């Protein structure tokens, strides 16, 4: 893992563009994109790069030692000896360039980073974060955008780009971090092959970041953001109050204490600052991330969005008054105990999900190391934790936390209030300004200049579309098929029964944590209640009971467990028309507290009262704000859900619970709450009665065998307490949206373009080779044509083997019709594909890497549960693995016939700008339906 400590003087995005570019070929691996070859053919558990405001990180990870060192070697060569510093076309491709196919056409901007950042600058939350960051630190490197401002990126020259690499990408300016059980001597040997080629450098001195001096008085900043015309503009304001907490780095104990304070203030729905802001009715949802300590100086941010213009000042006053009250009164002892247990549980569990634990430790370590502090200090939590607990026990929590609130927030004059104003004309105004700049650029060119630009555009596209020579591809190290296990990863499972209910148990080492899932069939829900499900699940965790208000219930969960969640799960089942529909109640606790875990599960399922009208209204406002944010930032997910809803019943349910249909439902529900709350409350109670019984219940447990056996008595008690009445019956759910092409119009500068079809309905029979082929299409055809040539930030496909739906999707895409043309040519690409044995082996190995994805014990137990529910046996997994390992070029050719059906019979959904949708319909009438959602 390499970390480069870097600095910058402007917002042209040099470090971000360089992050992309160094992975486009190097001295030892002189092909176009070794990174993509690694994506195709390694067992990596992590392979990426990312740019912070003051550093760029190049991490790799693999559970296979040979594979790991292959990745390390490619990355070392890429970082220190990239081709991009000699290749202007790589700079153009990844950064920016003028594109002109024909001298008679208009010039456009293209570039992967350019379009990525246009997407970033279309999202209000991202704009808010950027403005806050820059206003807090105007005097140092944090006052500019390391990712790049789309208005500034075209000012970057190739010479500046090369100079930046020469100056800062030097071993003396790097931090290199390893984690694992490999031989340290081998690490040093590999590193010496690269580091020995360099002399000392002054880069560390020149890249040093000086602290921002603290302000003498607060500052106010007003910024506009692109807003749609839907709804009342006067209620779309955002406000965030930000503090820079210190001029000097904080010691570990102070940082840990600040982390606890942050959790006390904002960490749960019951946290007072979060709760009071939301209950005030001044806004729809929280903005600001609380304490952020990954940069040189820590900061604290909090605010609201969905605020009325008249309430901007009231939000700021409420934040300050709430913090003042908390400093004077302190926190409830139950709240402190709950936060302490939650944070201590998280530290000891060290559950990083699918993110490798070593990388998680590395990111914590590097946040101090690059500022010349001890890299191991952030990893030592035990002593500071015990010291903090002792201080709270001896002095009381008020004596610990109130001085922090006073010093770092209330008496801190380095405060920046950012007010974001909605502007429905901003997106079109920005687009017009860009076109005017390009118009002037073209007007300044002679006919010879234009012809030369058209020729350069053609040359760049030819390079992008020309395959690497076989000898260059062979230079990239890879495993062989002989290195790949022939059997799938085994997860132990025992299927038993307690009180007539099936119980699945997974004997895995979990460090004394017990993970549990209680699964209920949700097929008894009435169709008219379906869209209430997400809010129903939230209500179970965030409303009170007869004996406790929701704050007390939330604190009890925090004190006794590692957390409880409730959510709907829906999936198609291969070979069946009816989808799998379940409610999953998921929780975890230390082994001695399993009884508490199941008691609390019973409480939220049976005792929570659906009577708090105003809290429910808050849930609706928060969900609406979240969905509106998804439309801009995750348009590909919205498009995918919408296409699924047109193609299968499970997709329709999923879209009703989390797509455009759900957003429209929330807007209607928001007004209905005041008009007919009794009906909504009754519906929630009816849903509870129809859902939570022994009928159709299943329990899944993951821990070591000793803890599993001890848990059985608590499971039995829990099941005895559940009603066993028969379900109330339901309406048929086998609905779909009309199968017509559709555009979802939002104020954005980039698009998200999807096309999908059901391969099973076209006659395709599942074979494991489909996993290999789908991944290959994403990593070659779509990567090359949608991202590299098209300039989109991402382009990929997905094959849902449960439903048969095959989807194409693009992400932050400047194109629309051109991308659809690429999708339609996929079958032709497959038929004309040539692959030697090495290329085929890489594709197979990369697919196995996905199938054998890194999982912690809780994820293994959960995966086993889902396989059980979906009827996926170990025998089928073995069969699919054998089919993957035996994939041939013939399989690719045959798969072409399956995807060919999507060309003429598929459905198209795009989340796009109004101008691009209008232009597409003017040229091809591709969208019979156009929905304006923002």
At a CB cut-off of 8 Å and minimum separation 6, what does 875 contact? none
Closest of 207, 173, 177, 211 to residue 363, by C-alpha: 177
Q: Which two tokens stand for residue 378?
A: 């952030």
Residue 1 has pLDDT above 50, yes or no: no
pLDDT score recorded for residue 208: 84
pLDDT score recorded for residue 524: 87
**Tell me: the pLDDT tens digits for 817-860?**
999 999 999 999 999 999 999 999 999 999 999 999 999 999 99
pLDDT, average across residues 95-109: 96
Structural domains of the chain ordered from first start:
2-123+136-208+426-467 (3.30.830.10), 219-423 (3.30.830.10), 494-721 (3.30.830.10), 742-932 (3.30.830.10)
64 Rama class: left (phi>0) / alpha (psi -120 to 50) / beta? beta
| H or E stretch covering 586 | strand 580-590
**Tell me: the pLDDT tens digits for 346-373?**
999 999 999 999 999 999 999 999 999 9
pLDDT score recorded for residue 203: 67
Residues 37, 94, 542, 655: which is the catalytic one? 94
pLDDT score recorded for residue 494: 98
Least confident of 229-233, 375-379, 782-786: 229-233
**Tell me: the pLDDT tens digits for 496-510?**
999 999 999 999 999
d(CA 20, CA 112) in angstroms, rounded, equals 9
Closest of 407, 408, 404, 402 to residue 328, by C-alpha: 402
Backbone phi and psi for residue 197, each to the nearest 5 degrees, phi listed first: -90, 5
Q: What is the DSSP string of 561-584?
A: SSEEEEEEEEE--TT-SSPEEEEE
**Tell me: the pLDDT tens digits for 49-78?**
999 999 999 999 999 999 999 999 999 999
pLDDT score recorded for residue 2: 44
d(CA 771, CA 763) in angstroms, rounded, equals 17
d(CA 250, CA 71) in angstroms, rounded, equals 35
d(CA 516, CA 508) in angstroms, rounded, equals 13
pLDDT score recorded for residue 206: 74
pLDDT score recorded for residue 252: 86
Higher pLDDT: 22 or 471? It is: 22
Total Cβ atoms within 10 A of residue 729: 9
pLDDT, average across residues 632-646: 96
pLDDT score recorded for residue 934: 87
**Tell me: the pLDDT tens digits for 578-593?**
999 999 999 999 999 9
User: Which band of pLDDT confidence, cut at 50, 70 and 90, is reported for residue 695?
Assistant: confident
pLDDT, average across residues 197-218: 86
Residue 156 has pLDDT above 90, yes or no: yes
Residue 249 has pLDDT above 90, yes or no: no
Residue 6 has pLDDT above 60, yes or no: no
Asked if 505 and 701 count as a contact pair (C-beta separation under 8 A), the reply is yes
Does residue 406 carry a catalytic annotation?
no
pLDDT score recorded for residue 453: 97
**Tell me: the pLDDT tens digits for 868-883?**
999 999 999 999 999 9
d(CA 76, CA 189) in angstroms, rounded, equals 13
Q: Where are the alpha helices (DSSP H) in 140-244?
A: 158-168, 184-195, 203-206
Strand 415-423 relative to strand 219-226, pairing:
parallel
809 Rama class: left (phi>0) / alpha (psi -120 to 50) / beta? beta
Does residue 431 carry a catalytic annotation?
no
Asked if 890 and 835 count as a contact pair (C-beta separation under 8 A), the reply is no
pLDDT, average across residues 399-414: 98
pLDDT score recorded for residue 732: 64
What's the N-to-C CA distance of the chain in angstroms? 42
Residue 232 has pLDDT above 90, yes or no: no
pLDDT score recorded for residue 726: 57
Closest of 268, 861, 894, 212 to residue 559, by C-alpha: 268
pLDDT, average across residues 121-144: 95
pLDDT score recorded for residue 207: 79
User: Which band of pLDDT confidence, cut at 50, 70 and 90, is reported for residue 625?
Assistant: very high
pLDDT, average across residues 471-477: 91
pLDDT score recorded for residue 201: 78
Asked if 248 and 211 count as a contact pair (C-beta separation under 8 A), the reply is yes
pLDDT score recorded for residue 931: 95
Question: What average pLDDT is seen over the chain?
Answer: 95
Backbone phi and psi for residue 728, each to the nearest 5 degrees, phi listed first: -85, 0
- Spell out the long-range contacts of 35-39 with Cβ–Cβ below 8 A and sequence spacing 24 or more: 35/74, 35/78, 36/779, 36/780, 36/783, 37/473, 37/476, 37/478, 37/842, 38/70, 38/71, 38/74, 38/476, 39/779, 39/846
């Amino acid at each position: 893992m390499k970390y480069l400590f870097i600095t910058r003087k402007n917002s042209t995005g040099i470090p971000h563009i360089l992050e992309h570019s160094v992975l486009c070929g190097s001295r030892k691996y002189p092909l176009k994109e070794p990174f993509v070859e690694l994506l195709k053919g390694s067992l990596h558990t992590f392979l990426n790069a990312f740019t912070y405001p003051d550093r760029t990180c190049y991490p790799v990870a693999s559970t296979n030692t040979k594979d790991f060192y292959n990745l390390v070697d490619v990355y070392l060569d890429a970082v220190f000896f990239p081709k991009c510093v000699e290749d202007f076309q790589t700079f153009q491709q990844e950064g920016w360039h003028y594109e002109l196919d024909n001298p008679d056409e208009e010039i456009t901007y293209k570039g992967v980073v350019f379009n990525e950042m246009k997407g970033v600058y279309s999202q209000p939350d991202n704009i808010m974060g950027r403005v806050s960051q820059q206003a807090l630190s105007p005097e140092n490197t944090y006052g500019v955008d390391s990712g790049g401002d789309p208005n500034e990126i075209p000012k970057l020259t190739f010479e500046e780009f090369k100079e930046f690499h020469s100056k800062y990408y030097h071993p003396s300016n790097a931090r290199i971090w390893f984690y694992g059980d490999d031989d340290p001597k081998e690490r040093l040997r590999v590193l010496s092959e690269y580091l020995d080629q360099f002399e000392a450098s002054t880069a560390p001195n020149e890249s040093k970041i000086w602290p921002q001096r603290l302000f003498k008085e607060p500052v106010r900043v007003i910024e506009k953001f692109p807003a749609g015309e839907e709804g009342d503009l006067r209620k779309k304001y955002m406000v965030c109050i930000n503090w820079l907490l210190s001029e000097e780095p904080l010691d570990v104990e102070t940082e840990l204490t600040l982390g606890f304070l942050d959790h006390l203030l904002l960490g749960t729905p019951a946290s007072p600052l979060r709760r009071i802001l939301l209950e005030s009715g001044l806004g729809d949802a929280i903005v600001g991330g609380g304490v952020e300590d990954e940069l040189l100086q820590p900061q604290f941010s909090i605010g609201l969005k969905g605020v009325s213009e008249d309430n901007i000042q009231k939000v700021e006053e409420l934040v300050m008054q709430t913090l003042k009250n908390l400093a004077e009164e302190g926190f409830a002892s139950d709240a402190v105990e709950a936060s302490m247990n939650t944070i201590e549980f998280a530290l000891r569990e060290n559950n990083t999900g699918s993110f490798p634990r070593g990388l998680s430790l590395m990111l914590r370590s590097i946040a101090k190391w690059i500022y010349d502090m001890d890299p191991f200090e952030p990893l030592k939590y035990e002593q500071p934790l015990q010291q903090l607990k002792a201080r709270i026990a001896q002095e009381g929590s008020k004596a610990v936390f109130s001085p922090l609130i006073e010093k770092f927030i209330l008496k801190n004059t380095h405060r920046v209030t950012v007010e974001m104003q909605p502007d429905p004309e901003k997106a079109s105004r920005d687009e017009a300004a860009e076109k005017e700049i390009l118009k002037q650029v073209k007007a300044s060119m002679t006919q010879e200049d234009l012809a030369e630009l058209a020729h350069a555009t053609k040359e760049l596209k030819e390079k992008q579309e020309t395959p690497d020579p076989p000898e260059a591809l062979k230079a990239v190290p890879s495993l062989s098929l002989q290195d790949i296990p022939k059997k799938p990863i085994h997860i132990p499972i025992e299927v038993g029964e307690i009180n007539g209910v099936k119980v699945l148990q997974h004997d895995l080492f979990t460090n004394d944590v017990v993970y549990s899932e209680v699964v209920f069939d949700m097929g008894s829900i009435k169709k008219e209640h379906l869209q209430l499900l997400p809010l129903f699940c939230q209500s179970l965790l965030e409303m009170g009971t007869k004996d406790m208000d929701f704050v007390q219930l939330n604190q009890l969960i925090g004190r006794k467990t590692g957390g409880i969640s409730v959510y709907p799960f829906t999936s198609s089942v291969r070979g069946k028309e009816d989808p799998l529909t379940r409610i999953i109640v998921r929780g975890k606790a230390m082994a001695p507290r399993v009884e508490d875990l199941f008691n609390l599960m019973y409480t939220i399922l049976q005792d929570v009262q659906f009577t708090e009208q105003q809290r429910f209204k808050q849930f609706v406002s928060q969900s609406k704000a979240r969905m509106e944010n998804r439309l801009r930032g995750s348009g590909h997910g919205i498009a995918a859900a919408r296409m699924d809803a047109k193609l299968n019943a499970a997709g329709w349910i999923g879209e009703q619970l989390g797509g455009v249909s759900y957003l429209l439902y929330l807007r209607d529900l928001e007004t209905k709450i005041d008009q007919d709350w009794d009906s909504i409350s009754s519906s929630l109670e009816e849903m509870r009665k129809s859902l939570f019984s022994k009928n159709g219940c299943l329990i899944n447990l993951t821990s070591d065998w000793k803890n599993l056996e001890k848990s059985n008595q608590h499971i039995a008690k829990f099941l005895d307490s559940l009603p066993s009445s028969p379900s109330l019956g339901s309406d048929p759910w086998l609905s779909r949206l009309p199968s017509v092409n559709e555009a979802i119009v939002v104020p954005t500068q980039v698009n998200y373009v999807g096309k999908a079809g059901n391969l099973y309905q076209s006659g395709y029979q599942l074979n494991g080779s489909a996993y290999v082929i789908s991944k290959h299409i994403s990593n070659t055809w779509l990567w090359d044509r949608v991202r590299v040539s098209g300039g989109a930030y991402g382009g990929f496909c997905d094959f849902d083997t449960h439903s048969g739906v095959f989807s194409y999707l693009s992400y932050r895409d400047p194109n629309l019709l051109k991308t659809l043309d690429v999708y339609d040519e996929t079958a032709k690409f497959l038929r004309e594909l040539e692959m030697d044995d090495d290329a085929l082996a890489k594709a197979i190995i990369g697919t196995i890497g996905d199938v054998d994805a890194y999982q912690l014990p809780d994820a293994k137990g959960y995966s086993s549960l889902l396989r059980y529910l979906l009827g996926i046996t170990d025998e089928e997994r073995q069969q699919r693995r054998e089919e993957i390992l035996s994939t041939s070029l013939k399989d690719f050719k045959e798969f072409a016939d399956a995807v060919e059906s999507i060309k003429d019979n598929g459905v198209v959904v795009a989340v796009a700008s109004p101008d691009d949708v209008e232009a597409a319909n003017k040229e091809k009438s591709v969208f019979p339906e156009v929905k304006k959602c923002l």
